[in-house]
Structure 1
């Protein structure tokens, strides 16, 4: 099965479009301590059903190095419980990449995706305000593939992102079989996608 990866961007802060309020109370807060344990938890809890496998082999030190490199993690909470997250990685060309974005399974279908994406993208646009000496953001970008959640692309487009490149079968998208699930040995949850796939 061919996997289609689309790269999307905003080139102006004014590109960002509002979303409807979520159906439940939610706070979006930055995780200011660079915790490898928390970073890995979010990565597996959100990505376990979508073939997010690239970082599963990372050591604690690799996670620490990634998070200490200026990456910001913004987490949506409902009554103290993580509901989803976005990871913002500054790049050298005054760009910010949204390297990870998604919801935990229990939080899907509650209108949180648009709300979290608006909050995360706004924080990408003002990231330089929190990092003295960094050039103001001129571009925010991300990518999604046909193995991501079915609402992902529509959410990005609705929030004002535009597709600037499309590729088929990007290296790393060739995984076969069932998704890994949220932790080693857990396996996929009922209703999780199967087949080849993902980032």
Structure 2
């Protein structure tokens, strides 16, 4: 058990407080009309490079998303092509600007594995459209729990956004990982809100 007080994070590492949230029954949402020029489309068997590009534009540069960038094509493809993983892309003028990834691989539940928009889409109502769709799709299968997690590396708006849609926090953890900017997984200028504690 952690003692109260400050705890050092080693140089070369990043740390985040992770909040786990869940929904135990479907929250009924009114259908939304997509903002003009935007569509939410199912993506079948996505190309790994296409996925990495979208992943990076949504979360890599601003929020230090790195987990999927560390996977090779075989490992990433195995996830994305699994019949129990559903991927949706928010499209604008033929370019993906957001993603909803639903993971049903654990029996009786769905994880909102990834959810996000590129910076230029914020404030246009696209997030509400995507979450309404995510909730409907998750509960279209016979599940008893829809869950996700967010952390202090994410947008400070994320936690409140999820709670407004009916997700309830039930667990908190501290996650420590190698800083992906030092390994070359992300550019050095990514995640400007998190200073690099270099080992140099």
Corresponding residue SS for 1:12: coil
Give the number of equivalent residue pairs: 181
Please state how far the C-alpha of 1:10 moved relative to its aligned partner: 0.7
- Where 1:116 maps in the other structure, the secondary structure is helix
Q: Deviations for 1:81-129, whole angstroms, at most 9, x for unmatched residues?
A: 2221111111333101011111012111222222211112211111x3x
Bigger Rg, which one: 2
Task: Measure the CA separation in 2 of the matches of 1:24 and 1:188.
Answer: 31
Gaps of 5+ in 1: 129-135
Q: Is residue 2:180 matched to residue 1:170?
A: no
| Structure 2 residue 165 is the aligned partner of structure 1 residue 151 | no
Structure 2 CA distance for partners of 1:17 and 1:195, relative to 1, 3 Å? farther
Greater strand share, structure number: 2
1:2-31 deviations in Å (ceiling 9; x for gaps) = 632110111111x25459767544211110
Residue 33 of structure 1 and its aligned partner are, at CA, apart by 2.4
> TM-score normalized by structure 2?
0.77
Q: Which ranges of structure 2 fall in alignment gaps of 5 or more residues?
A: 1-8, 10-14
Match of 2:79 among 66, 78, 81: 66
RMSD: 2.9
Shift of 1:149: 1.0
Task: Give runs of aligned pairs for residues 66-145 of structure 1, distance below 5 A.
Answer: 66-69=79-82, 70-126=84-140, 128=141, 136-145=142-151
| Distance change >3 Å, CA 19–CA 102, structure 1 → 2 | farther
Shift of the alpha carbon at 1:78?
2.4
Mapped contact 2:63–2:153 kept (Cα < 8 A) = yes
The question of 1:33 aligning with 2:38 is answered no
Alignment deviations for residues 40-96 of structure 1 (CA, whole Å, 9 cap, x no partner): 222111111111112222111111111122211111112332221111111333101
In the alignment, the residues of structure 2 paired with residue 35 and residue 125 of structure 1 have an alpha-carbon distance, to the nearest angstrom, of 27
TM-score normalized by the length of structure 1? 0.77
**Counterpart contact for 1:46–1:84, Cα < 8 Å:** yes
> Cα offset for 1:137?
1.7
1:132 paired residue number: none
SS of 2:193's equivalent in the other structure is: coil
